[in-house]
Structure 1
Amino acid sequence: MKNVSKYTRQFFEAPKTAMKWTERSYVDKAPTWCSVDLRDGNQALVIPMGLGEKLEFFKVLVDIGFKEIEIGFPAASETEYDFCRTLIEDDLIPDDVTIQVLTQSREHIIEKTFEALRGCKNAIVHLYNSTSVAQREQVFRKSREEIIDIAVSGAKLCKEYREKYEGNYRFEYSPESFTGTEPEFALEICNAVLDVWKPAPEDKVIINLPVTVQLSMPHVYANQVEYMCENLKYRENVIVSLHPHNDRGCAVADTEMGLLAGAERVEGTLFGNGERTGNVDIITLAMNMYTQGVDPQLDLSDIPAINEVYSRLTGMAVNERQPYTGKLVFAAFSGSHQDAIAKGMKWRAEGHTDRWSVPYLPLDPEDIGREYSADVIRINSQSGKGGIGYILETRFGYDLPKKMREKLGYIVKDVSDKKHKELLPDEVYGIFKQRFVDITSPICVTETHFVQRDGIEATVSFDYNGKRVTATDTGNGRLDAVSNALRSYTGADFNINAYTEHALEVGSASKAVSYVEIVTGTGRSYWGTGIDNDIITSSIKALVSAVNNMLGDKS
């Protein structure tokens, strides 16, 4: 590509650390989650949410289980201010939930922020100012010392105003654009703020290390976080928080590695909504923990419902391949994948394990409100017999013989290929019924009688090409006798090659379903299925269906 020479690495390596985070292989406990959907997420929308929409979204976040929710920037607009006041005055904030508000380091903004919080039981005042080289040089044109003064003066003002208002107010500081800031300077300015606030066991302070713009690979960020964790003053009374954006597509990796490096708190959004490429997706992070046996302390058991509210209120759509939450993330179109999933589900149903280990499915879809039949096995021209058989068995109760599943599989794939579309389960079932079940042309059996005479003698009455006829023959069983009678009358060359049966429904109203395969003298195979309350009748229907398929084959 052209112009590559104008780009350079804008991040700063942390001073050498022990990289202790590399010794851990997974996040073993849930962090404190803080949703920033109503601030960072909302300001990224083409049409920001109105008051009613924000109130509904807030309730959803509470129901999911967030205990810290950043509700906005009260001094930025009347809508933001009114939202904060409505939550407080209408007593909409549960006692165990803390709201968080953002403020710049300017006195009139800090003053209005505390006014907005008047009467709030629990709140976090989130102070920030930009610290990166690019911001210092290009936006503020200030020295390091001047940038520190901005932060320290804001910290002092926050402390002064807290003393004027009743309520449990905690503090948070973010060196905005942390990833473009020299780690030594980020540490210096954070420690200067901490010296003002003097965190204590009963008054801990949050130091937030935002990936305002993603500039490096995740391990670089992890080293920066570890450096800060090891060198911050008052460390035992400081909560280190992460706030990653996704410019390089690494927000989840940044966050997980940052947690391994010592952070205890995460700010993010549902589905990753946020400026540019978005914030870190808290749902993905939480489900990553869940699928490794760690309780994320969030209720994500009905993802479709959360998706519906999110899409309606924000106007944003969840990508079909979004981890865990997209419509197609559990979908298997590949025949080999479908077969492996079907066998894995059967192995699990047989009681071999109570642990989840189904091939190609890192998560049980039912745990987040999804359905196997609708979400997992999807049928198109790439599908195979395993998936098609799985749908017929789980949705409709038909346990097809293996060779019959293969036969049906080719038929279904051909239909999908010619129509250039995915086939829904009902369409697959329709193809199965049309091609194999109770086929009554050109032969339609109307009556069958059996007599025990040197084996079983069958007298079969049937319509054949519009003519009512009767044929009699013997066999070593009822089905064999009917087969011989049909063969002797029609002159067709075939033999029964396979027969299976099972109950289609459980209980007194159960029906019998039978499957018959016949093979011609030239080796061609034909299948039929019969359904009836009587097992003998269902087997005869299956045989006749197979014979009709043979007689109707023009190939």
Structure 2
Amino acid sequence: MKASNINKYTPFQPIALKDREWPDRKLTHAPIWCSVDLRDGNQSLPVPMNINQKVTLFKALVAIGFKDIEVGFPSASDTEFNFLRTLVEDDLIPDDVRIQVLVQAREPLIRRTFEALDGVKNAIVHLYNSTSRLQRKVTFGNASKEAIKAIAVDGTLLIKSLLDEVPNTNITLQYSPESFSDTEEDYAVEVCEAVIDSWQPTPENKIILNLPSTVEWNMPNTYADQIEWFCRQIKNRDSVIVSLHTHNDRGTGVAATELGLLAGADRVEGTLFGNGERTGNLDLVTLALNMNSHGIQTGLDFSNVDSIRKVYEKNTGMNVHKRHPYAGELVFTAFSGSHQDAIKKGMDLRGEDAINWEVPYLTIDPIDIGRSYEAIIRINSQSGKGGVAYILKREFDYDLPKKMHPEVGMHINGLADKYGRELNFKEIEAEFQKEFVNRKDIIELIKYEIQELTETEVQSIVTLKHNGTEMKLDGRGNGPINSVVYAMQQQGWKDFNVEQYRSHSVGHSSASVSVSYVQLSMKDNPAIKVWGCGEHTSIRRSGVNALISAYNRAQILMKK
């Protein structure tokens, strides 16, 4: 923004709440949840959902565990009206689910809404009208505060008079002073108390007062102050459910809701993945899983978040961003080398019986929301040594020695840098095999035999090709590798020292393969250390293969 345009904007003024209590409170339980996907979410779509798509999404919301579901604005269109009638006539509404219907405080719309409710067992009639100074000025042509309050009261009284028309429906009233966060606090309380006086709620039959941040003008702490102030001031608090409905214009919709709950609210409205007008509504998935990550039961089931995302995307036509918290394709994926190393160490330290989740960079166990460990670490040019080793271990059972990680990681990451893209697991395995395993460049092992001469001495007899020439060597030593090293020394090839050796098996059957790793250092330049890997059904042969692989790699690297 140009500096000359800054003067257009004025900061939002905080309210006077010197003894605020919400900063010292702790969230210990979940709120009452209300999904507005079928109303706020639907009206924000470039192509609104048809009835079949709405039914599918409604069933998904019920399966997740929502007990309050706003199904739309029945008086707004035939599609909205017919959708509710479909839910009723096809008996799709469970007895423990309350259907919420939105309606402006206008008589024809309220009467049409009651027609749509026929046959519903439990319903919330959500009445609203704008109350903010800006809305009074612009939308209602400088209407007085008394006139705006009268709209809310008249709508409430009409709804109350129509209850007899749906005698088999348990009706709860919800009132929203639209643009609450931009309304003078004392006036918002005045309007809501006038609605309370008209409806006469009781502790057994409460009214819902929904306090929307219809447009997110201010910081989350200011919204929390407004909620705490409202909860202190509103009369008959034991007969009131205070509900929050935040939007995300400043990108802090979830934060505002969390602070609003600390401030005393009982209920929240939002949508899956935050779909809503402009920058969206409260993201119910993020809020619920935030609570789960702190050990709070929510009553909502996001144990298979990928399947929920697919239903959402198919029926709304929207896409969940790859970096969306919890549900994004890449949210549990680390490309950064330092992150990968920390994640690998954390995963390695976790035993099967571990209770507490403690893995660096991962706030929640992917398994708990139906995600696999498969995508935690992926490899591109930014990846580190630990990430490549993690993939080779998890996917292909190569348990590389820790000191081998840098050499393998540098080589694989260099390939990713060359290609300018991420490498898939098969590419990583193929490159590892090509570069490190059973190399045949200079020396190719054809046949290997070993004889035990004493308890401490063996003789190795090897048939090999050296630069294409076949020859037979033998050597003695205290083990397979040592004896072959001696045989190579007899040919004048011993210009190295064996620094490290390690082996393990891959597989759990008679067809198990032994994998060995050998590190060599060059006599003329001990700082140069080179790894090789060998595979064979015989552990002795795999060790010799690893020795020859390391030797071949060293000779090639020395020539470069």
TM-score for both structures, normalised by structure 1: 0.96
Residue equivalent to 1:143: 144
Aligned residue for 2:230, secondary structure, equals helix
Cα distance in 2 between the residues matched to 1:158 and 1:13: 36
Number of the residue aligned with 1:237: 239
- Deviations along 1:118-174, whole A, 9 cap, x unmatched? 000111000000000011111112100000110000000111111211211111000
Map of 1:529 onto structure 2: 533
Alpha-carbon deviations, 1:12-49, whole Å to 9, x = none?
6445363111221x311000110001000110011111
Q: 1:437-476 alignment to 2 at 5 Å?
A: 437-453=437-453, 455-476=457-478
Give the whole-Å Cα distance in 1 for the aligned partners of 2:405 and 2:428: 12
Of the three residues 275, 278, 281, the one matched with 1:276 is: 278
**Kept after mapping to 1: 8 A contact 2:533/2:550:** yes
Distance 1:387 1:21 in 2: 42
Equivalent of residue 201 in structure 1, options 203, 207, 211: 203
Q: Distance in 2 between matches of 1:501 and 1:53?
A: 56
Q: 1:452 to 1:112 in 2, by over 3 A?
A: closer
Alignment partner of 1:322 out of 309, 324, 331:
324
Aligned to 2:424: 424
Task: Report the equivalent of 1:355.
Answer: 356
* Residue 255 of structure 2: aligned partner: 253
Q: C-alpha distance in 2, partners of 1:233/1:277? A: 34
Q: Which amino acid aligns with 1:365?
A: P
- Select the residue among 531, 547, 550 that pairs with 1:546: 550
RMSD between aligned alpha carbons? 1.5
Deviations 1:355-391 (A, max 9, x none): 01111111111111112232x1121111111111111
Shift of 1:492: 4.5
**CA-CA distance at 1:101 after TM superposition:** 0.3
Q: Which amino acid aligns with 2:96?
A: D
Post-superposition offset of 1:490: 5.7
Tell me if the contact between 2:208 and 2:240 (Cα under 8 Å) persists in the aligned partners.
Answer: yes
Question: Tell me, what secondary structure is at the counterpart of 2:491?
Answer: helix
Is 1:395 matched up with 2:395? yes
**What is the correspondence of 1:130-169 to structure 2 with a 5 Å cutoff?**
130-141=130-141, 142-166=143-167, 167-169=169-171
2: distance between equivalents of 1:486 and 1:350? Answer: 46
**Distance (Å, rounded) in 2 between the aligned partners of 1:17 and 1:87:** 49
8 Å Cα contact 1:100-1:125 kept in structure 2: yes
Please give the per-residue CA displacement for 1:50-102, whole angstroms capped at 9, x wherever unaligned: 11111111011111111110010000001100100000010001111111000
Q: Which residue of 1 aligns with 2:381?
A: 381
Matches of 1:382 and 1:63, distance apart in 2: 40
Query: What is the TM-score of this pair, normalised by structure 2?
Result: 0.95
Residue in 1 that maps onto 2:412? 412
Which SS does the other structure have where 1:513 is aligned? strand
Larger deviation, residues 117-126 vs 196-205: 196-205
Q: Which runs of 5+ in 1 are unaligned?
A: none
Determine if the alignment matches structure 1 residue 51 to structure 2 residue 55. no
Report the Cα distance in structure 2 between the residues aligned to 1:15 and 1:197, rounded to whole angstroms. 30
Give the residue type in structure 1 aligned to 2:357.
Answer: W
2:293 is the counterpart of 1:291: yes
Following TM superposition, by how much is the alpha carbon of 1:442 offset from its aligned partner in structure 2, in angstroms?
2.7
Q: Which amino acid aligns with 1:196?
A: S
2:308 maps to 306
1:319: Cα distance to partner? 1.6
Deviations 1:267-293 (A, max 9, x none): 000111100110010111111111111
Deviation track 1:203-223 (CA, whole Å, cap 9, x = no partner) reads: 211000000011111111111
- 1:331 match: 333
SS in 2 for 1:349: coil
Q: Which residue identity is paired with 2:162? A: Y
Question: Which piece of structure 1 moves more, 406-415 or 486-495?
Answer: 486-495
1:168 and 1:12, CA in 2 relative to 1: closer, same or farther beyond 3 A?
farther
Describe the superposition over 1:254-308 as per-residue Cα deviations: whole angstroms up to 9, x where unpaired.
1011101110000000111100110010111111111111112110111111111
- Partner Cα separation in structure 1 for residue 459 and residue 43 of structure 2: 83
Following TM superposition, by how much is the alpha carbon of 1:334 offset from its aligned partner in structure 2, in angstroms? 1.5
Match of 2:174 among 147, 172, 175: 172
Contact 2:502-2:517 within 8 A present in 1 as well: yes
Residue 491 of structure 1 deviates from its aligned partner by 2.6
**Aligned: 1:35 with 2:39:** no
- Any conservation in 1 of the 2:480–2:543 contact (CA below 8 Å)? no
Counterpart of 2:264? 262
- The one-letter amino acid paired with 2:513 is K
CA contact (8 A) 1:17 1:227 kept: no
Structure 2 residue runs without a partner (length 5+):
none
CA deviation digits over 1:421-461, x for unaligned, max 9?
Answer: 11122221111111111222332222223344583222211
Q: Which residue, 481, 484, 487 being the options, matches 1:485? A: 487
Q: Which residue identity lines up with residue 544 of structure 1 in the other structure? A: I
Does the 8 Å contact 1:178/1:212 carry over to 2? yes
CA distance in 2, matches of 1:224, 1:89: 42
Identity %: 50
Query: SS of the counterpart of 1:407?
Result: helix
Give the secondary structure class of the aligned counterpart of 1:460. Answer: strand
1:350 to partner: Cα distance: 7.6
Equivalent-residue separation in structure 1 for 2:417 and 2:244 (angstroms): 48
Tell me the amino acid that sits aligned with residue 424 of structure 1: N
Q: Secondary structure in 2 aligned to 1:233?
A: coil
**Aligned residue identity for 2:402:** K
**For the residues of structure 2 that align with 1:432 and 1:396, how far apart are their CA atoms?**
11
Determine the C-alpha separation between the residues in 1 that align with 2:466 and 2:393: 33
